[in-house]
Amino acid sequence: MLNLHSTKKLINGVEMPRLGLGVYKMTNPAEAYSAMSHALEAGYIAIDTAALYDNEEQVGQAVRDSKKKREELFITSKVWNTDQGYDQTLRAFETSLKKLDMDYLDLYLTHWPVPELYVDTYRAIERLYDEKLIRATGVSNHEPHHLEKLLATANVQPMVNQIELHPHLIQQKNRDFAKQHNIAITSWSPLGRGRVLEDEAIMKLGEKYGKSAAQVIIRWHLQHDLIVIPKSVKEVRIRQNADVFDFELTAEDMQAIDMLNRDERYGSHPDTFHLKK
Ligand code: A2P
């Protein structure tokens, strides 16, 4: 039986929580701090932030104020595009760690595969891993062709790839590749920036299970063995998004949700994203 503390074992044996709070676009410090605190209070043990989100200080503050033991939590951050390259990534990591006021991170990711730089960025992440400053390595928004390049030279393979993934963009190719290489997938914008919530088929399933559309979608991610990081700033939704362990979608309903795929992105494509903020 899954629960809010359930984890997925990464290829190096580290246990990564299956559900965490995503904090993208939470740039209002008070709002961000409040959302993170509510999540920790509700029993979340993972927070996914990034240098770009400009809220690492709030993550650190919320964690300290929660009085939870650091080792019981799983904190992820990412190096932003303008800080990529070997030395720059090492410096960016130091800045993130300082802002978080932590001694280590559980997971550190390349945010986007900046052409010409992402291989060196990942080499720096490998070094952070060797120095035990991070417990797991990974990337975000990498396509199989990016990962192939990293895998060809890496001493420590990427353990996680965090990609946009929701019922309108099921990312089958990327998932198949990840499975083949024992890379865990984290779904960002798991609710499709909220847009999948209005899908009629999802709403109907919500009625069938006595759950909200968001809960149905989060459950779909979990049952596909995806790590899921829904974002909300509202306490009631933060709690609702974690209340997904008392029902199970049938195989038919899982398939019906898979069929909603239309390869539609609500964010950028990794091959054409804009480099700057
Ligand atoms: P808000 O932060 O105001 O609650 P995603 O994680 O796919 O990017 O989706 C995030 C969006 O979905 C946000 O706009 C968030 O709004 C909204 N959202 C998150 N959880 C729920 C929920 N349980 N019900 C309705 N909307 C939600």
- Residue 27 confidence (pLDDT): 87
| pLDDT band for position 274 (cuts 50, 70, 90) | confident
Q: Which member of 33, 44, 53, 122 is catalytic?
A: 53
166 secondary structure, DSSP code: B
- Residue 51 confidence (pLDDT): 98
Average pLDDT value for the chain: 97
Tens-place pLDDT, residues 167-190 = 999 999 999 999 999 999 999 999
The ligand 1 site (C-beta within 6 Å) comprises 22, 189-194, 197, 212, 214, 230-234, 237, 240-241
Is 86 strand, coil or helix?
A: helix
Burial of 276 (0-12, 13-18, 19+ CB in 10 A): exposed
Query: Which one-letter amino acid corresponds to residue 240?
Result: Q
Tens-place pLDDT, residues 26-78 = 989 999 999 999 999 999 999 999 999 999 999 999 999 999 999 999 999 99
The question of whether 118 is a catalytic residue gets the answer no
Nearest CA to ligand 1 atom 1: 232
Burial of 167 (0-12, 13-18, 19+ CB in 10 A): buried
- Residue 275 confidence (pLDDT): 67
* C-alpha count within 13 angstroms, C-beta hemisphere, residue 94: 8
Instruction: Specify the ligand 1 atom closest to the Cα of 214.
Output: 23
Q: What is the mean pLDDT of residues 144-157?
A: 97
pLDDT at 277 over 70: no
Distance between CA atoms of 100 and 98, rounded to whole angstroms?
A: 5
- Residue 140 confidence (pLDDT): 98
**For residue 260, how far is its CA from the centre of ligand 1 (angstroms)?**
19
Tens-place pLDDT, residues 81-122 = 999 999 999 999 999 999 999 999 999 999 999 999 999 999
Residue of 231, 235, 243 to mutate, ligand 1, most atoms within 8 A of C-beta: 231
Distant-in-sequence, close-in-space partners of 207: CB < 8 Å, separation ≥ 6: none
Beta strands in 61-159 (DSSP E): 74-79, 105-110, 134-140
Tens-place pLDDT, residues 226-270 = 999 999 999 999 999 999 999 999 999 999 999 999 999 999 999
pLDDT at 276 over 60: no
- Residue 166 confidence (pLDDT): 98
pLDDT at 200 over 80: yes
Distance between CA atoms of 17 and 58, rounded to whole angstroms?
A: 20
Instruction: Specify the ligand 1 atom closest to the Cα of 22.
Output: 6
Residue among 28, 69, 23, 11 nearest 47 (CA)? 23
Tens-place pLDDT, residues 114-142 = 999 999 999 999 999 999 999 999 999 99
**For residue 140, how far is its CA from the centre of ligand 1 (angstroms)?**
21
Q: What is the pTM of this model?
A: 0.97
Q: What is the mean pLDDT of residues 194-200?
A: 95
Q: Give Rg (Cα) of the chain.
A: 18
